[in-house]
Amino acid sequence: MNRINFYALLGAAAIAFAQPVLAHDVPEAGKESRAILQKSGLPDAAGKTGVMLTVSYAPGQASLPHVHPGSVFAYVLEGEVESQMEGEAPVRYKAGQSWYESPKHPHIMSRNASDTKPAKLLVWLMVGDGEAIAQPYKN
């Protein structure tokens, strides 16, 4: 085997073995990072809890379709996020922009709009006492 063929074979083997590793670099949908910053009962809304959290997306990462039991306010802290509520067109929000989600309105798409940079949201939502902040949505 001459030198050129040897290096071509070596390069092809490296690519073949690297592809399964590269597949693991793609962030899994629904595995975005959530960090609760504050959670408190709301004295002026009996039976309700206010929750403030951050949602961090790796490049290219997305949430699974979901629904929130109460009102949601989202603010983009970093990067760009594409969001789509059921029955509406997708909207791209940049750092400094925000949006509102009505209770129980299906959030069918929320994702980092960039494949190279992270994105982060600050979210405030209201839920019933002891209620989960989100539930999976299946249409």
Q: What is the pLDDT of residues 82-138, one digit of tens each?
A: 999 999 999 999 999 999 999 999 999 999 999 999 999 999 999 999 999 999 998
pLDDT, residue 58, reads 97
* Per-residue model confidence (pLDDT) at position 24: 47
pLDDT tens, residue by residue, 29-78: 778 999 999 999 999 999 999 999 999 999 999 999 999 999 999 999 99
What does each C-alpha distance from 116 to 16, 27, 58 come to in angstroms? 24, 12, 8
What does the block give as tokens for 104? 């129980």
Query: What kind of architecture, by CATH, is found in domain 33-136?
Result: Sandwich (2.60)
More confident residue, 3 or 43: 43
Tell me how far apart the alpha carbons of residues 15 and 91 are, in angstroms, rounded to a whole number: 37
- Distance in angstroms (rounded) separating the CA atoms of residues 44 and 28: 39
Domain coordinates in residue numbering, the chain: 33-136
